[in-house]
Structure 1
């Protein structure tokens, strides 16, 4: 197999309107070669690894609202595994990562949206979750196929696709070895060790934050991870700085302004229900600035789509031309330019439209199904472009979902569709679009990797379709398992019964051993809050079924092995219903006695139950989506904030600044933008020191080390997620050994400075691999 060195790519700022770099691009595996690629073992391993990463991504998305990119870790694992079971070709390893990456992207879309059903009082049904996962995933892959040539080939040199480029680097150095491999694996080891020491060992503060005492509402923070540093280096200083500018506006301008004007206001300001002066900067962000960011992201996305429209139209014309020309023209195309036939795309999309409309589980009307296809096309395109500009890790999928929800719910409102079932329909619409956009972005990264290494696009697309189906089977059951594991049933008492129309024929046994009917209470402004309940025949509420995802019950009574006398000095904290629906006094027991400190339920001088803390998965993105659906269909959405975001994006465009990366910076926490900005700053310093050739080559030392950082940080993130999922954080937490230093902001800044300094040093001292073929 011969290796051809890639041509240096010009800086984004200097690229002409119609870059010609793709014409001279030579992939690592030339089109004339045909090594093993779409083999059974590659697809099987990719599907298996995709299932593992999908399950872990569901947990991570529900816990913190983020996911870890899967392509690079899967590529590293594939290279390692195949070395034990017979060496694979680079294209086989590429098929493994392509097939496996579908799981993580679908998991993100599912976990961000579908838990909103729980928050709106519905059940999560396995059939619905599975169907939405498959439909959204297939939609993302099929819609990306005709866009591949326009976005990946025509825009090569303009759209960086940092994770896709990094993944190609990992695959190539795994094949070639030599100095390239040493650089990438040095970055991998350093990134992995750094993140492992920071979390779960917590020997330094990887998430430093500072609130300014004399500047109310102002704060800065940093999620100082190696993968974000690597992404910032690869995308370059211009995009990194633009994203950071959005974060600065949000955290050092908008939030302080809201805090300043709200400090003397003695009543809550919609949409919040608490006083502004009692809010932290993050509270202000989640209740006000998030809506501004969502409006800006939606507007920036539509502007970006408008700019890309000529490219998109050209891509579709090319697809239609090949569709008419038939198989004869297709055979003339080189191997590296062969996509799945356009007929597969057309007929596949028609089949998906019919499936969305006719699936009885979803209950989606034909106009809504058509709306899904339109939104899917728009946001798959936008998502793919964002991934090309700033990477998958910073892709604001939730912002696109917000835009989908806004428009869908407005149309529903105009048509008078404001019932309970319409809310589920609106969420299903957003879920399919969210999954499609997420998978479309991941697919574009995979196709960029394939473009660089010389893969056959058609075979990658087949691998993606397989990965969608296999991962979807696991994602739904993982979501249901996590929710069931943490669901609790708390005794409740209301003065009014639940309306009989809300009570179903379903019967369930309560914590007291009695049978009750299941009721679903909608958000109707009634005395009984929205949710799922166990009720008596009369409609009287007995228990609230508090979901494990987004639940609100903080404690659950657990009966003591034997009743214990109330300790002297135990403070009474009111009354509470026990699992047997009897009223008990709540006692708070202090430390130092025979009983563990905490709260207990007791009566007649005896403690009967211990109130144990209940573990819940917050699902922050799902909470936002539920709020939007209810807000619009009940006419309670803060439109003024959304429109401020729209105007903000337009102002940026009028100033000549790309609005989309700026809007992403406004929407994301500043903690995400800071490490990306530092990576861009390092790249700027390297370019100044070595000239433009120092950082823009696909195989420059800085890019290779950054690729290692992304891979090492991503895999260490999975290790940390596994530790958290097993509930073993306290066993690995060593922060108590060196409390003063490990918890300080300085510890994280120093540690991050070390890996940033190592990146700079390697980039200015290393020799470029361009023009060499190492073996």
Structure 2
């Protein structure tokens, strides 16, 4: 694999952290954060914005007759941090769903997000040297972003080039046997591209624009004009048993499915089959039916109240197993990192290389203390109106912040290592959230029982809300640390200055935290969430499902009310253990097939309209791969080079599909909020649902064919 190991020398005259770069990064941040918030609430997924941010930055700065590889790197660093922070919506909407909040107060939401993001950045700084500079971890997304920046940025005319100490190792790791043994879910983004004939910034921006316009128009027809349905479902009753065959019509999910790959797609399909092909039919057969209720309603209720907890158990045990397997190398990395900090802190600043200079320890310590202080104030404000004694409030605040700090630091180290090993997109953030909400709920449960907090329904509701609020703080730390080391790896490979990049990460977190609350309020007001509609007469079928927030709220509520479906969680844990053992057997035999356990759990607990659409996207990626392989053989050309070019375009096209649909959702939410009408642009709201479903299906299949053809034909033209 070609490594493109050029970067500016240590004595670097190129501008890095510029005012225009920060402003451009802020604009891209608003777009991708809003997109991620909408996508996460609608389908329970977010996407990595590093590569599309880098391409957009290069295209814009080149059009301005400026920009260089380091400035573009700072823009994508800032934007990717903010986009990643939006994963906090996996928990925070639960506070509205349970009725504790009637909206999202700006300063409280901003503080929990911003402080968590800042602490996530700071917690990863001690890990940089051991896990980035001296590590053989592959960092698939970080290396891919570096490749794009190297090829797409203007040549470093007049500059000597320097080779990173481990550039060859890092660039080769993506293509070696060890990386190839990882399942597809552990090679996110289909991004390890090495060909020198890859897409240039202008062409890359065109792919993003094409995908964005395509998915935006289709989403507008579905959600704006409502001339097409957004899914199709066929219920198949067999006596007292019912099966469900369904798919959604989301091009954003097609893009996401393409990015995760066929192995994880098939794992999700296995989860859907276990959920709707086995568990739900079995329960509809064994559970007594309520008179007058349709089988479809009974099945949906059984999935929501029981089966999805099987998925939660599977994801939770997979996350714990991942942490256990990484414990030894993670601890070793921490020791090396802290030893490095002790050594550099005694050196004079001038003696340190530019590309090996982190934020000074006093800044790290000062900002960490500031982040903790913000959390103490925020948690105190959160509990300020609670009818509790001061000592009870103080103990709850101290325990909640202490848990978030300790567990957050451990999770930051684990997620940082996992991101280096398998990529940011494959790290089990949902599993981390499930483990965190269970642990913190049990902690608060103990305090509440001792203090009498749980003697009233109001006290129980407050305890549930505090558990969710604390978990959101942990998720903020986890998601940022999951992304930051990828960005720092990119920076190391292209010759960025670490402390400047860390400043860009901090700026991205603050800007992202400021964007998230108003977008959340906008979407909640316009669509509502499952079980939480802000206005009378709203269409519950159009509510955002927020699957992770729904699940974590149900778990916390079940723990405090002693009605948690522990048996279903136990079945999920047992299933997870079995699948982990099966995956270990497959790995030991050296076969190509692997079984991503977390993906199976996701397939169980995500709504089936989402899971099946993801599978379709993964299958389309597999079809592209098979077609290119056949063409390469027929034309006697190198398949790796042909596939590299197609995959690069496909990654950008998929990103466009995700962004286009998400932005339409946000814009429509603004229109709904402004007009006060549920469907102000609808022109076919009274039409036949069946006709809308079949036309939607035909349009969806046609556009999927367009996407596949564009990936393949664009590669043929460029090849």
TM class by shorter chain equals: 0.7 to 0.9
Higher helix residue share: 2
User: Which residue number corresponds to residue 627 of structure 1?
Assistant: 554
User: Which residue number corresponds to residue 117 of structure 1?
Assistant: 95
Deviation at 1:422, TM superposition (A): 2.6
User: Which residue number corresponds to residue 555 of structure 1?
Assistant: 536
Deviation at 1:632, TM superposition (A): 0.4
Is 1:671 equivalent to 2:613 in the alignment? yes
In structure 2, which of residues 206, 218, 225 is the aligned counterpart of residue 198 of structure 1?
218
Q: Distance in 2 between matches of 1:393 and 1:722?
A: 23
User: Which residue number corresponds to residue 142 of structure 1?
Assistant: 122
User: Which residue number corresponds to residue 700 of structure 1?
Assistant: 644
- Please list the CA deviations of residues 570-601 of structure 1 after superposition, one character each: whole Å capped at 9, or x if unmatched: xxxxxxxxxxxxxxxxxxxxxxxxxxxxxxxx
Is 1:219 equivalent to 2:241 in the alignment? no
Q: Distance in 1 between matches of 2:108 and 2:333?
A: 34
For 1:426-465, list aligned pairs within 5 A.
Answer: 426-465=467-506
In structure 2, which of residues 279, 291, 309 is the aligned counterpart of residue 258 of structure 1?
279
CA RMSD of aligned residues (A): 4.4
Partner SS, residue 145 of structure 1: helix
User: Which residue number corresponds to residue 199 of structure 2?
Assistant: 180
Residues 401/740 of structure 1: CA separation in 2 closer, same or farther (3 Å cut): closer
Stretches of structure 1 lacking an aligned partner (at least 5 in a row): 1-6, 9-23, 488-546, 557-610, 768-775
Deviation at 1:263, TM superposition (A): 3.0
Deviation at 1:187, TM superposition (A): 3.3
Deviation at 1:635, TM superposition (A): 0.6
Moved more, 689-698 or 140-149: 689-698
For 1:227-242, list aligned pairs within 5 A.
Answer: 229=255, 232=258, 240-242=261-263
Moved more, 627-636 or 413-422: 413-422
Partner SS, residue 221 of structure 1: strand
User: Which residue number corresponds to residue 95 of structure 1?
Assistant: 74
In structure 1, which of residues 169, 174, 185 is the aligned counterpart of residue 148 of structure 2?
169
Partner SS, residue 381 of structure 2: coil
Q: Distance in 1 between matches of 2:369 and 2:231?
A: 50
Residues 613/626 of structure 1: CA separation in 2 closer, same or farther (3 Å cut): closer
Higher strand residue share: 1
Moved more, 73-82 or 418-427: 73-82
Across the two proteins, how many residue pairs are aligned to each other? 622
- 1:137–1:439 contact (8 Å) kept in structure 2: yes
Deviation at 1:634, TM superposition (A): 0.9
Residues 664/61 of structure 1: CA separation in 2 closer, same or farther (3 Å cut): closer
Is 1:352 equivalent to 2:371 in the alignment? yes
Q: Distance in 1 between matches of 2:520 and 2:68?
A: 35
Partner SS, residue 180 of structure 1: coil
- 2:281–2:299 contact (8 Å) kept in structure 1: no
Q: Distance in 1 between matches of 2:130 and 2:642?
A: 20
Residues 283/262 of structure 1: CA separation in 2 closer, same or farther (3 Å cut): same
- Please list the CA deviations of residues 412-450 of structure 1 after superposition, one character each: whole Å capped at 9, or x if unmatched: 334444434332321221010122222233334433443
Moved more, 684-693 or 164-173: 684-693
Is 1:340 equivalent to 2:354 in the alignment? no
For 1:48-447, list aligned pairs within 5 A.
Answer: 48-55=27-34, 57-62=36-41, 65-67=44-46, 69-83=48-62, 85-109=64-88, 111-123=89-101, 124-149=104-129, 151-152=131-132, 158-161=138-141, 165=144, 169=148, 172-173=151-152, 175=154, 180-181=199-200, 184-185=204-205, 187-201=207-221, 209=232, 211=234, 213=236, 216-221=242-247, 225=251, 229=255, 232=258, 240-265=261-286, 267=288, 277-279=295-297, 284-327=302-345, 328=347, 334-341=353-360, 344-345=363-364, 348-357=367-376, 359=378, 360-363=380-383, 364-384=396-416, 397-417=429-449, 418=454, 419-420=459-460, 421-447=462-488
- Please list the CA deviations of residues 81-133 of structure 1 after superposition, one character each: whole Å capped at 9, or x if unmatched: 43454512222122122223333333330x33223223333235443222211
Partner SS, residue 140 of structure 2: coil
User: Which residue number corresponds to residue 495 of structure 1?
Assistant: none
- 1:218–1:252 contact (8 Å) kept in structure 2: no
User: Which residue number corresponds to residue 535 of structure 1?
Assistant: none
Residues 206/549 of structure 1: CA separation in 2 closer, same or farther (3 Å cut): closer
Residues 44/155 of structure 1: CA separation in 2 closer, same or farther (3 Å cut): same
User: Which residue number corresponds to residue 708 of structure 2?
Assistant: 756
Q: Distance in 1 between matches of 2:684 and 2:294?
A: 37
Residues 45/331 of structure 1: CA separation in 2 closer, same or farther (3 Å cut): same
- 2:54–2:145 contact (8 Å) kept in structure 1: no
Deviation at 1:64, TM superposition (A): 5.1
Deviation at 1:645, TM superposition (A): 1.9
Q: Distance in 2 between matches of 1:294 and 1:246?
A: 15
- Please list the CA deviations of residues 32-59 of structure 1 after superposition, one character each: whole Å capped at 9, or x if unmatched: 6552111222123323442454455445
Q: Distance in 1 between matches of 2:542 and 2:700?
A: 28
Partner SS, residue 288 of structure 1: helix
Higher relative contact order (CA 8 A, sep 6+): 2
Using the size of structure 2 for normalisation, the TM-score is 0.73
Q: Distance in 2 between matches of 1:661 and 1:753?
A: 26
- 2:25–2:78 contact (8 Å) kept in structure 1: yes
- Structure of greater Rg: 1
Stretches of structure 2 lacking an aligned partner (at least 5 in a row): 156-195, 384-395, 585-594, 673-678
Residues 166/740 of structure 1: CA separation in 2 closer, same or farther (3 Å cut): farther
Using the size of structure 1 for normalisation, the TM-score is 0.68
Moved more, 632-641 or 732-741: 732-741
